[in-house]
């Protein structure tokens, strides 16, 4: 049985209490954050955390992010809090930033995938914060079946988990649309493990240069530090192809590819920031922020419309564009066409 809890009008304390009770009972509750929907369970309850992995079909070595509502909570989870972490928390929490820190024993192995570190973030969404405050730190991966695009609407969570989890809080569309930026502060040099909703440039403005883990660029080396990087990700059923290069050439190339695939009898979808002739078209908006917000929804919707191929227009890699291109290239299984 899954209850869908409507909170589209904002936080409703009475409903929050019901959802918090589920969490404290070891049950699964999907909830909105400012990035994407999360599939939540009590982070300190081993059995509850284990259920997240089962529901998602997530490999056990891919650790979960623990969501907190107050900086004080971090001290219960992390053994050491380096100065950089304090600075970043002060500047960007609540917000789309996840920090990997040395963990305390109290955090179950299931939650951390057996690593000696724990990933923590304080989400900037009133419903998420209210739910955590009313319960406990909440472990929550994105609320999608493993390998599928992350959910930015409660409908997406319903599609993947209806009947499999206890509750889904509907808080409307998430604002940022790509997951949090993950930065490892547990080793010598701050290292970016996943570009996300907080642009790297903003982090570097506070703590100076950050190393970029090679796997972020698609090179499969030393994946042990963030096991999530090695798995298939964000893939709809249709084959995704990303077209990258100078704008004018990208435009021409996409038009050519649409013709070519259609002539082979395939149904072609295009997702882009300008209009194209295709069997199905999804307008991503104009700005980087629009593209980030619409990206996962576009992948899911074009899939529902039954296309065989999705051609996605690449955007510049700065700001949120870094996260967008990271997700798109993964969704495409690194099938990239250079225009």
Q: Which is nearer to ligand TXA, 45 or 191 (CB)?
A: 191
35 labelled ligand-binding: yes
Which residues contact Mg ion by CB under 5 A?
Answer: 142
- Find the shortest distance in angstroms from Cβ 67 to ligand TXA: 6
- Find the shortest distance in angstroms from Cβ 122 to ligand TXA: 10
58 labelled ligand-binding: yes
Q: Which of 302, 319, 320 is nearest to 311 (CA)?
A: 302
Which residues between 64 and 103 bind ligand TXA (CB under 6 A)?
Answer: 64-65, 96, 98, 100
Q: Which is nearer to ligand TXA, 131 or 272 (CB)?
A: 131
DSSP per position, 231-266: S--S--SSEEEEEESSHHHHHHHHHHHHHHHHHTT-
DSSP code of residue 78: B
Pairing of strands 65-67, 38-42: unpaired
The region that residue 104 occupies, defined by phi over 0 for left and psi between -120 and 50 for alpha, beta otherwise, is: beta
Helix (H) or strand (E) holding 301: helix 288-304
| Per-residue contact flags (x/-) with ligand TXA for residues 150 to 179, judged by CB under 6 A | -----------------------------x
Q: Rounded to an integer, what distance in angstroms lies between the CA atom of residue 255 and that of residue 241?
A: 13
What angle separates helix 83-92 from helix 200-207, to the nearest 10 degrees? 130
Q: Rounded to an integer, what distance in angstroms lies between the CA atom of residue 240 and that of residue 148?
A: 13
121 labelled ligand-binding: yes
Q: Rounded to an integer, what distance in angstroms lies between the CA atom of residue 30 and that of residue 51?
A: 13
Q: Which is nearer to ligand TXA, 115 or 258 (CB)?
A: 115
287 labelled ligand-binding: no
- Find the shortest distance in angstroms from Cβ 57 to Mg ion: 12
User: Per CB under 6 A, does 32 bind ligand TXA?
Assistant: no
- Find the shortest distance in angstroms from Cβ 42 to ligand TXA: 15
Q: Rounded to an integer, what distance in angstroms lies between the CA atom of residue 298 and that of residue 312?
A: 10
- Find the shortest distance in angstroms from Cβ 286 to ligand TXA: 24
Q: Rounded to an integer, what distance in angstroms lies between the CA atom of residue 89 and that of residue 26?
A: 28
DSSP per position, 122-172: ----HHHHHHHHHS--EE--BSS-TTSPPPSSHHHHHHHHTTTSSEEEE--
User: Per CB under 6 A, does 38 bind ligand TXA?
Assistant: yes
319 contact, one of Mg ion, ligand TXA, none, CB 5-8 Å limit per kind: none
Q: Which is nearer to ligand TXA, 27 or 267 (CB)?
A: 27
Q: Which is nearer to ligand TXA, 4 or 337 (CB)?
A: 4
User: Per CB under 6 A, does 294 bind ligand TXA?
Assistant: no
What angle separates helix 288-304 from helix 154-161, to the nearest 10 degrees? 40
Q: 178 by DSSP, 3-state: which?
A: coil
Q: Which residue's beta carbon is nearest to the bound ligand TXA?
A: 228
Residue burial 152-189, b: 16+ Cβ < 10 Å; e: rest:
bbbbbbbebbeeebbbbbbbeebbbbbbbbbbbbbeee
Q: 73 by DSSP, 3-state: which?
A: helix
Q: Which is nearer to Mg ion, 117 or 180 (CB)?
A: 180
User: Per CB under 6 A, does 118 bind ligand TXA?
Assistant: yes
User: Per CB under 6 A, does 194 bind ligand TXA?
Assistant: yes
Which of 20, 33, 169, 271: binder of ligand TXA (CB under 6 A)? 33
User: Per CB under 6 A, does 199 bind ligand TXA?
Assistant: no
Q: Rounded to an integer, what distance in angstroms lies between the CA atom of residue 234 and that of residue 165?
A: 21
Binding residues: 35, 58, 62, 67, 117, 121, 140, 142, 150, 180, 194, 234
Binding residues for L-threonine: 35, 67, 121, 140, 142, 180
Q: Which residues bind ligand TXA (CB under 6 A)?
A: 33, 35-36, 38, 62-65, 96, 98, 100, 112, 115, 117-119, 121, 123, 140-142, 179-180, 182, 193-194, 225-228
Binding residues for ATP: 58, 62, 117, 150, 194, 234
């Amino acid at each position: 049985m899954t209850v869908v809890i409507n909170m589209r009008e904002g936080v409703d304390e009475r409903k929050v209490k019901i959802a918090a009770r589920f969490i404290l009972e070891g049950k699964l509750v999907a909830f909105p954050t400012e990035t994407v929907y999360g599939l939540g369970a009590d982070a300190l309850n081993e059995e509850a955390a284990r259920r997240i992995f089962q529901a998602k079909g997530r490999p056990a070595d891919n650790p979960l992010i623990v969501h907190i509502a107050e900086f004080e909570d971090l001290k219960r989870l992390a053994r050491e809090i380096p100065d950089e972490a304090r600075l970043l928390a002060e500047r960007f929490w609540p917000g789309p930033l996840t920090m990997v820190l040395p963990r305390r024993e109290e955090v179950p192995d299931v939650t951390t995938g057996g690593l000696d570190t724990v990933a923590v973030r304080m989400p900037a969404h009133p419903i998420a914060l209210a739910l955590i405050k009313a319960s406990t730190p909440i472990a929550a991966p994105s609320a999608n079946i493993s390998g599928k695009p992350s959910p930015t609407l409660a409908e997406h969570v319903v599609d993947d988990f209806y009947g499999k989890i206890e509750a889904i809080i509907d808080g409307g569309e998430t604002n940022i649309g790509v997951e949090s930026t993950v930065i490892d502060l547990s080793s010598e040099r701050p290292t970016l493990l996943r570009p996300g909703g907080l642009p790297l440039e903003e982090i570097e403005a506070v703590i100076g240069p950050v190393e970029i883990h090679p796997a972020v660029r698609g090179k499969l080396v030393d994946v042990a530090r963030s096991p999530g990087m090695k798995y298939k990700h964000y893939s709809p059923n249709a084959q995704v192809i990303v077209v990258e290069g100078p704008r004018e050439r990208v435009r021409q190339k996409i038009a050519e590819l649409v013709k070519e695939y259609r002539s082979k009898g395939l149904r072609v979808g295009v997702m882009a920031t300008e209009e194209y002739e295709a069997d199905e078209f999804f307008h991503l908006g104009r700005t980087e922020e629009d593209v980030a917000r619409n990206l996962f929804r576009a992948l899911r919707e074009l899939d529902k419309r039954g296309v065989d191929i999705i051609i996605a227009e690449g955007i510049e890699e700065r700001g949120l564009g870094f996260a967008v291109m990271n997700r798109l290239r993964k969704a495409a299984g690194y099938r990239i066409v250079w225009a």
